[in-house]
Structure 1
Amino acid sequence: MARLRRTPPHDLDPEARALYDEITSGPRGRFMVDAAGGLTGPFNAMLLSPPVGHPLQELGAAVRYRSSLTDRARELAILVVAGHHDSAFERAAHEPIARDLGFTDDQLQALRDGTPPHLDDPAEAAVHAVTRALVTEGDLGDDEYALLGERALFELTTLVGYYATLALQLRVFRV
């Protein structure tokens, strides 16, 4: 049972309403609103503290839409985090995106199970290996560190941290 009520926009205070408007006007907005206008997923909780929610949702937009990671690499990493944290919401939100990007049912099942999917692209295999190490070990050995360039590594560690934060919030607020 969800712990937070989804607040319709007309019931929000001005600061929360400004954040609501920012979230719903962006590329994720059309997917994150229920029939009554309340925010779904992690975004509803962000309205509890707009001074924290605003930069958090902005970080999410940056890792989703402005990083140098390919779309496939990004979705692969998100699904590794979702699988590790057993985040049903993130899986439900991102598996269709991954499927549209060409991930197979077998690959998606492997990511759900936390097992290595068969990946033909060596760059994607590197992203998978690094992301698995980050979620299971919280660090990288020298060999894993060397798999990606430093910019990609910075963006990937940021993505992993962001989606781990969302997984925690989704679990605590029973979303």
Structure 2
Amino acid sequence: MTPSKNDLGGRLPLLDSDELKADQHTLYTELQATMVPWAKKSGFQAETTDGKLIGPFNAMLRSPAISKALMSVTAAEGTHTSLSEKVRQVVILTVGAAWQAAYEIYAHTAVAEKAGIEEHKIQLLAAGQKPEGLSIEEDVAYDFVRRLTTTHQIEAALYERALVTFGEKGIVDMIYLAGQYMTISGLLNTFAVPAPGQ
């Protein structure tokens, strides 16, 4: 039986913690200790009232070893990135909008608000539009990531702008972050995961 969208798993049934295999349970425990509290603090929902994971986290339980490695990349990016939090959220919302990943846009609308991005700018970014009044770094990040996710090419002039703005490390950091959220958006879209309230 196909789960309803109201279950928030999309095409995948939500998994109960007591039906998980050992490696899945290890990942579940890690997600409950890291991502669920972060989601609550950020203002979005990452689990049901009975403790089942939603968003990309439910899908991640299907491949726990690789998902655990992805979580290590997530942690490393958060610790070692050269990008500001506002720039990070511009990157993530730009990817989410390009992929039309409903849950990603839902979650990072809340995170971007906590990062101090104005609501009207968040709404435009979530709709795939470039707001006026972005900082130089935010402006370049939007243009770079929009091109990367839509045409998959970075022309010379845009590369030079990004290089002057972020340096080589910043460009690599931006590509890693965008790629991470392309993967998350791929999970969300493949399994038709809705945002709460949709």
Normalised to the residue count of structure 1, the TM-score between the two structures is 0.91
Q: 2:142 & 2:134 partners in 1: Cα distance?
A: 12
Paired residue type of 1:138? H
Distance 2:58 2:82 in 1: 28
Aligned equivalent of 2:187, options 138, 144, 169: 169
Instruction: Provide the rounded CA distance (Å) in 2 between the counterparts of 1:92 and 1:109.
Output: 11
Partner of 2:23: 15
Q: 1:43-58 residue pairs with structure 2 within 5 A?
A: 43-58=57-72
CA shift in 2, pair 1:120/1:84, >3 Å: closer
Deviation at 1:117, TM superposition (A): 1.0
2:36 aligned with 1:29, yes or no?
A: yes
Tell whether 2:87 aligns with 1:69: no
Give the residue type in structure 2 aligned to 1:133.
R
Shift of 1:65: 4.4
* Structure 1 residues 124-135: aligned runs within 5 Å: 124-135=138-149
5+ unaligned residues in a row in structure 2: which ranges? 40-45, 194-198
Report the counterpart of residue 107 of structure 1 in structure 2: 121
Give a deviation string over 1:78-100, Cα, whole Å, max 9, x none.
00011111111011101112122
Partners of 2:78 and 2:90 lie apart in 1 by 12
Superposed CA offset, 1:86-132 (max 9, x none): 11101110111212222223212221232211134211111111111
User: Are the counterparts in 1 of residues 95 and 182 from structure 2 also a CA contact under 8 Å?
Assistant: yes
Q: Considering only aligned residues, what root-mean-square deviation do their CA atoms show, in Å?
A: 1.5
Q: 2:177 aligns with which of 159, 166, 171?
A: 159
- Matched-pair contact (CA < 8 Å) for 2:60–2:67: yes
- Count, aligned residues: 174
Structure 1 stretches of 4+ moved >3 Å: none
Segments of structure 1 that go 5 or more residues without pairing to the other structure are none
Contact (CA 8 Å) 2:109, 2:126: kept in 1 or not? Answer: no
TM-score, length basis structure 2 = 0.81
Tell me whether 1:118 sits opposite 2:132 in the alignment.
yes
Mapped contact 2:95–2:178 kept (Cα < 8 A) = yes
Amino acid at match of 2:19: D
Contact 1:69-1:152 within 8 A present in 2 as well: yes
Percent identity reads 29
The AA in structure 1 aligned to 2:109 is: E
